[in-house]
Amino acid sequence: MCGIVGLFLKDDALKPQLGEMLSAMLITMTDRGPDSAGIAIYGDETAGQTKITVQSGTPDSDFPALEKHIQDQTHLAKDKLSFTMRDTHAVIVAAETDKDHILTLIRDNHPNIRVMSQGQSIEIYKEVGLPKDVVERFALTQATGSHGIGHTRMATESAVTTLGAHPFSTGSDQCLVHNGSLSNHNMMRRKLRAEGVNIQTENDSEVAAAYLSARMSEGETLGEALTSGLNDLDGFFTFVVGTKTGFGVLRDPIACKPAVMAETDAYVAFGSEYRALVNLPDIDLARVWEPEPAEVYFWSH
Amino acid sequence: MTTIDITEQGLRYLNETLQQQSAGTNQKEWDIINPRGSHAIAVGLDAPIQVTVNGSTGYYCGGMNKQASITIKGSAGPGVAENMSSGMVVVEGDASQYAGATGRGGTLVIRGNAASRCGISMKGIDIIVAGNIGHMSAFMAQKGNLVVLGDAGEALGDSLYEARLFVRGSVKSLGADCIEKDMTEAHIKQLAELLERADMDADPAQFRRYGSARQLYHFDVDNVSAY
């Protein structure tokens, strides 16, 4: 099964409540998949700065070592550098110009540390366990931002691990969650790797994320990339996708994976089921509908 | 009128209470509040009672219904009135996928739109939809009537057996072995009765009828020796 939620705020006044609203939506979907859970939050951004979210199974030893290693790099812009630990995750904020250096440093020297996301506004937190536990471990109810997506997983395609949890991020400020299963993901993974795309897992959903990132890196908009996906990705899927400014939804032409959306003047919300939406403000006045099969939906700030 | 609050009293209490009602019950009218998209609301009922659900429902509301009349004052999640035998289920909003699936009898009325696979494998139920229906509706439908005042999506009536499909609007495409058929006086009379039962104001003469061409492999007498 799997449960997906998404929330795109049109009313800035709701920004301080994004994490609280999205967390509640995700917890409602727990019985659609209790294996692992994750949330991507598009929070505040500062011009010229980047955020790198990392994860480790042994954070107590790995993160201080990484922080020291970064601090020891004499040429980095120290005034823009910060390192915030949250349970198994840490968010490194640094100058945009130092991003590639830090990513290379992590990749080459810290094999236990995985990069969850990188970009100006995105932060991804995901772990094995129930949504309520994941929400609590990372204090996600306190998260603020303009939009976010969440996922609770019932694993079918690959192992129940942190890296197999959603959202998947395969490009700067991009992420994807998926309910369904892709049938041509092995072929597509080989094709994308041959194009030089970095794919970390054997998970089908990561392939979909990497596919969309590859199309967007070639200049397509999210909407165009999703349209391309209808031709190139085979299988069952409901995708919810985030970028720095936008939020997209796509269902395959057969559309057997459930989806319901609600829109008011204040927000656009997505849920695998209506249950996920019932606590949103003014839901009784919202336009509620089921997204059409093979139709690209996209909202942007 | 008896009111049950699902948030306060629980779904299990609701269904146990409604399922215990017998033909002679004095409590004919039930008002359900705070459905909040819960699954399996008012399922397996078998008594001539009127149940009103005040809000939108999740999976399988009114599933396996016998005798009861259930009105959903909101939209219904997947599989509303699935495998119903008799009675009536009315959805005042939209219905999600496979509404009325495998239904053996009774009437399902949808005042909004129905999504994909409406009436899939229906076996005698009558389904009347005021709006549109999605793709693959009435797939392998065996018996009963599907009436659509709006448009039908792709592959209507694919691999259809003997169900009758009446559509007033456009049909995006017909499924395998589904063809348009003549509307006779008998069909117009039957359709008028179905529309009246659903309390819908539409002229039966404006509908087209679709049914099975009976040309699939298993309908061909030349293949009888294969069985």
- CATH number, domain at B125? 2.160.20.60
Closest approach of A89 to chain B, Cα-based (Å): 34
Of A254, A273, A293, the CB nearest to B77: A273
Of B57, B59, B115, the CB nearest to A290: B115
Tell me if B75 and A274 make a contact (CB, 8 A cut-off): yes
Mean pLDDT score, A126-139: 97
Q: How confident is the model at residue A135 (pLDDT cuts 50, 70, 90)?
A: very high
State the pLDDT at residue B227. 65
Q: Is the pLDDT of residue A23 over 70?
A: yes
Predicted confidence (pLDDT) per residue in B149-201, tens digit: 999 999 999 999 999 999 999 999 999 999 999 999 999 999 999 999 999 99
pLDDT greater than 70 at residue A84: yes
Res B65: pLDDT:
98
Question: How many residues in chain B?
Answer: 227
Q: Which of A197-201, B31-35, B96-100 has the lowest mean pLDDT?
A: A197-201
Shortest CB distance from B37 goes to which of A254, A256, A273?
A273
pLDDT digits (tens, 9 = 90+) for A271-300: 999 999 999 999 999 999 999 999 999 999
User: So what's the pLDDT on residue A1?
Assistant: 80
Q: What does pLDDT average to over chain A?
A: 96
Contact B37 A255 (CB under 8 A): no
Contact B97/A at CB under 8 A: yes
CB contact under 8 A, A275 and B36: yes
Residue B225 banded pLDDT, cuts 50, 70, 90: confident
A243-251 mean pLDDT: 94
Residues B205-217: tens digit of each pLDDT:
999 999 999 988 7
Alpha helices, DSSP H only, in B75-215? 185-197
**Per-residue confidence band for B54, with pLDDT thresholds at 50, 70 and 90:** very high
Task: Calculate the average pLDDT of chain B.
Answer: 96
Q: Pairing between strand B69-72 and B88-91?
A: parallel
Select which of A1, A2, A76, A117 is catalytic.
A2
CATH 3.30.70.100 for domain A45-120: yes
- Shortest Cα–Cα distance, B91 to chain A (Å): 15
Beta bridge partner(s), residue B211: B179
In angstroms, the CA B143 to CA A112 distance is: 61
Residue B184: predicted pLDDT: 97
Question: A278: which chain B residues are within 8 Å (Cβ-Cβ)?
Answer: 36-37
Average pLDDT value for residue range A20-35: 97
CB contact under 8 A, A258 and B37: no
Q: B139 to chain A nearest CA, in Å?
A: 13
pLDDT confidence bin for B223, thresholds 50/70/90: confident
Domain total for chain B? 1
Q: Are A172 and A40 in contact (CB under 8 A)?
A: no
Q: Has residue B226 got a pLDDT over 90? A: no
Using one digit for the tens of pLDDT, what is the confidence trace for A156-203?
878 899 999 999 999 999 999 999 999 999 999 999 999 999 999 999
In B, minimum Cα distance to A291 occurs at B115
Question: In angstroms, rounded to a whole number, what is the distance separating the alpha carbons of residues A52 and A76?
Answer: 15
CB contact under 8 A, A273 and B58: yes
**Catalytic (active site) residue A256:** no
Chain A: residue whose CA lies nearest to B116: A255
Q: What is the mean pLDDT of residues B66-94?
A: 98
Yes or no, beta carbons of B96 and A260 under 8 Å apart: yes
Residues 6+ apart with CB under 8 A from B158: B136, B138, B139, B140, B175, B176, B177, B178
- Interface membership of B37 toward A (CB under 8 Å): yes
Domain A3-44+127-300 has CATH 3.60.20.10: yes
Q: Provide the domain limits for residue B201.
A: 2-226
- Which positions ≥6 away from B124 have C-beta within 8 Å? B103, B104, B105, B142, B143, B144
By Cβ distance, the residue of A274, A277, A293 closest to B135 is A293
CA distance B222 to chain A (A): 34
Domains of chain A, residue spans: 3-44+127-300, 45-120
Contacts of B66 (CB under 8 A, 6+ apart): B45, B46, B84, B85, B86, B87, B106
